[in-house]
Amino acid sequence: MTSRSCNRCDAEVAPTTLDSAAGSDDPLTVTVRNMPVVACSEGHRQFVRATFPAELLDHLMQQDEPELPAGEEKGLIRKRFLCEGCGAELAPKPDHRHTFSIDVSLDKIDPFAVELTMPVYRCTACDKEQLHSLKELRKHTPQALAEAFKAADIPPG
């Protein structure tokens, strides 16, 4: 890494990790764990590179994680959510909230984890629990991730 300075106080920055940063866009909560950042001696943080937020968002939006059980959204006006396993309609009210953990590896950055906490719905036919849909999850991901960065006091750019 080439030497660079803090964008707030001009002190030299060094690589470190941020234990946890969480943000929400109801009903989604995104928690980033052990995120690599750079920080100065005053504690000001910056992303490891300017493209990091976009890279992470792209990774989350394009990822079809096998550990994310999700139904399928149907209907334009009256939304229905169908079980990914048997095709039956999911219960209209969530059963509970569940946290799904995703390991993230971006080019030339140490791996870290992202946790997605969302309501899960039970299939009335086969009893499988799942998210309503990946589309619904992804609708809330950008804002929840932005809120996590804001809570970690990492300024954009």
| Percentage with pLDDT > 90 across the chain | 79
Asked whether the predicted pLDDT for residue 2 surpasses 60, the reply is no
pLDDT at 65 over 70: no
Residue 21 has a pLDDT of: 96
pLDDT in tens, 123-156: 989 999 999 999 989 999 999 999 999 999 998 7
CA dist 48 and 37 (Å) reads: 5
Write the DSSP symbol of residue 140.
H
Q: Is the pLDDT of residue 57 over 50?
A: yes
Q: 0.85 cut: is pTM over it?
A: yes
Round to whole Å and give the CA distance between 96 and 28. 13
Q: Does 1 have pLDDT greater than 50?
A: no
Count the alpha carbons within 13 Å of 37 in the hemisphere toward its beta carbon.
25
pLDDT, tens digit (0-9, with 9 covering 90-100), for 9-28: 999 999 999 999 999 999 99
Q: Where are the domains of the chain?
A: 18-35+51-151
The C-alpha angle with vertex 53 and arms to 48 and 54, in degrees rounded to 5, equals 125
What span, in angstroms and rounded, lies between the C-alpha atoms of 119 and 69?
12
- pLDDT of 66 reads 58
pLDDT tens per residue across span 95-108: 899 999 999 999 99
